[in-house]
């Protein structure tokens, strides 16, 4: 039974005279920075798993989230690595986008470097807005750590595949796209990627 709610968790009574702390990190699988007062109320009865008993210090550790199914494990069963699915952008930071999968109530990380093969990460991330629905590919799942990694560029053909059958000293034809102080920016006939020919390699 919840008897007191504080910023860092809730004090729960297992039986009269026996109280322990339910830490905020053990309340929810999907929310890491949980506000306990949004989830718990005084006198509410909740299921918990006892995770540790320290008789010397007279402390008992409990977890509410362990009493429920791990949504990250369920996600992995239905959407293993390399799966493609849709989600909604829940938050955007400098170099990362968080994609919410509503069905499971969890967020996955989409790093800016996984948005495009050819565009700069800082330019590409500006094209997205909170609330946008996007299609992503599952790159990595760590259910025990509650982490999922997504990618968008992995849904496209990697332009570097152009070089799969090439070797050093092969001659290729390229088109000049632009010039700068460093040299020439060029693109192979198939396009999709820009390469630099340094000034000292032009002539």
pLDDT tens digits for 143-184? Answer: 888 899 999 999 988 888 888 899 999 999 999 989 999 999
pLDDT exceeds cutoff 80 at 27: yes
pLDDT of residue 169: 94
| 8 A C-beta contact, residue 36 and residue 5 | yes
User: Regarding predicted confidence, which is higher, 193 or 90?
Assistant: 90
Confidence class for position 193, pLDDT limits 50, 70, 90: confident
List, in order, residues 6 or more apart from 2 with CB less than 8 Å away: 10, 11, 12, 22, 40, 41, 42, 43, 44, 45, 46
pLDDT of residue 77: 95
In the chain, % of residues over pLDDT 70 = 99
pLDDT of residue 19: 93
Confidence class for position 191, pLDDT limits 50, 70, 90: low
pLDDT of residue 119: 82
pLDDT exceeds cutoff 90 at 192: no
pLDDT of residue 63: 94
pLDDT digits (tens, 9 = 90+) for 117-147: 888 898 999 999 999 999 999 999 998 888 9
**Residue in the structure block whose two tokens are 């039974």:** 1
Core vs surface per residue 60-82: b (16+ CB within 10 A) or e: bbbbbbeeeebbbeebbeebeee
| 8 A C-beta contact, residue 89 and residue 135 | no
Give, in degrees to the nearest 5, the angle at Cα 9 between 6 and 14: 105
Closest by CA position to 97, among listed 121, 80, 117: 121
- How is residue 124 annotated by DSSP? H
Across the chain, what does the average pLDDT equal? 92
């Amino acid at each position: 039974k919840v008897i007191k709610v504080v910023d860092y968790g809730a004090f729960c009574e297992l039986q009269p005279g026996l109280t322990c702390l339910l830490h905020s990190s053990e309340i929810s699988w999907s929310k890491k920075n949980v506000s306990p007062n949004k989830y718990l109320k005084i006198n509410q009865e909740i299921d918990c798993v006892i995770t540790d008993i320290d008789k010397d210090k007279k402390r008992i550790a409990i977890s509410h989230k362990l009493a429920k199914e791990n949504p990250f494990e369920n996600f992995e069963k239905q959407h293993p690595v390399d799966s493609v699915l849709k989600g909604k952008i829940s938050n955007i930071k400098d170099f990362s986008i968080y994609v919410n999968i509503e069905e499971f109530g969890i967020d996955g990380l989409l790093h800016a470097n996984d948005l495009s093969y050819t565009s700069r990460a800082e330019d590409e991330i500006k094209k997205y807005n909170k609330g946008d629905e996007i299609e992503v590919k599952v790159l990595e799942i760590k259910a025990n750590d509650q982490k999922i990694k997504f990618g968008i560029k992995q849904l496209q053909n990697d332009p570097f595949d152009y070089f799969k059958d090439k070797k050093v000293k092969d001659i290729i034809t390229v088109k000049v796209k632009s010039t700068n102080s460093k040299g020439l920016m060029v693109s192979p006939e198939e396009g999709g990627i820009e390469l630099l020919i340094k000034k000292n390699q032009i002539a």
